[in-house]
Amino acid sequence: MTIHREGYKSIAIVTLLFAVINILMFWFFGPSLLWLCIAIFIITLLFVLFVVSFFRIPTRTYTFNEASVVSPCDGKVVVIEEITDVEYFKDKRLQISIFMSPANVHVNRNPISGEVVYSQYHKGKYLVAWNPKSSTENERHSVVIKKGDKEILVKQIAGAVAKRIVNYLVVGQKVTQSSEMGFIKFGSRVDLILPLGTKVNVSLNQVVKGGVDTIATI
C-alpha cells in the first residue's frame, strides 16, 4: 500500500494539529485530567489514521481487457437505468452509478483505454451523492473516452461532504484502462454513461473495486 500524492498536504496538516493539540492537552491538563488527555489522544490519533487510510492506494492486480468496462472507483452500485444524456450525447444512454463512502479508496481510474475527446468541469450544488439530481446539478467533472466507434462518458461528482474533484485528463490524451484519471476527496459518486445495449455485468448494491471489477462488456 502507498499514499496518494493528493493526500500529502492533508496528512501533514492533520498530523501537525494532532501534535499541537496533544502537547497542549498534556502540558496544561496532564497532572489533573490525565484521563481526558488520554481520551483526546486516542480520538485524534484515530482521526489521523482515518485520513491516512482515505488516501491509500492498495496493492492490486488491475484488469486490462479490450472488451470490458472496468469500474472507475471503489464503492457500491446504486443506479442502473436508461437516461437521456443532456450534456454530451444528447440521446438515450445507459447510466451506471457507483457511490463512494468516506471509507472507500478514492482514486478514480479509466474504465477503458482510448483517447480523451471531451473534458469539462462544471460548477454546481453539493446535494447528497445518492440524490438522482446530483448527476446533473452537482459540481462535477465529465470526461469522454473514445475507443474505436465507442464513446464512454465518466462523471466525477461531488457530494455533500466531497468538496474537491481532481481530474488529470486533457483532450487529445491517450489513456490506458485502469490507470489513474483523478481523485475525489471525502466521498461522492462516479457515473458511467454507456451506449444502449451494453451488457451489464453488475447488479444494484453490488460492491466493486476500481480498476479491478468489470462493470460492463462493450
pLDDT at residue number 75: 95
Fold of 68-217: Glucose Permease (Domain IIA) (2.70.70)
Tell me the C-alpha distance between 196 and 82, whole Å: 8
Tell me the C-alpha distance between 138 and 41, whole Å: 37
* Residue 74: pLDDT over 70: yes
Tell me the C-alpha distance between 207 and 36, whole Å: 39
pLDDT band at 214 (very low <50, low <70, confident <90, very high): very high
Q: Quickly tell me which residue has 496532564 as its cell.
A: 30
CB atoms within 10 A of CB 15: 14
Buried b (16+ CB within 10 A) or exposed e, 149-180: eebbbbbbbbbbebeebbbebeeeeebebbeb
pLDDT digits (tens, 9 = 90+) for 163-174: 678 999 999 999
Tell me the C-alpha distance between 73 and 109, whole Å: 6
pLDDT band at 5 (very low <50, low <70, confident <90, very high): confident
pLDDT at residue number 114: 96
Question: Mean pLDDT over all residues of the chain?
Answer: 90
pLDDT band at 160 (very low <50, low <70, confident <90, very high): low
- Give the amino acid at 203: S
pLDDT at residue number 130: 55
Q: Would you name the residues annotated as active-site residues?
A: 188
pLDDT at residue number 132: 58
pLDDT digits (tens, 9 = 90+) for 93-114: 999 999 998 889 889 999 999 9
CB atoms within 10 A of CB 102: 15
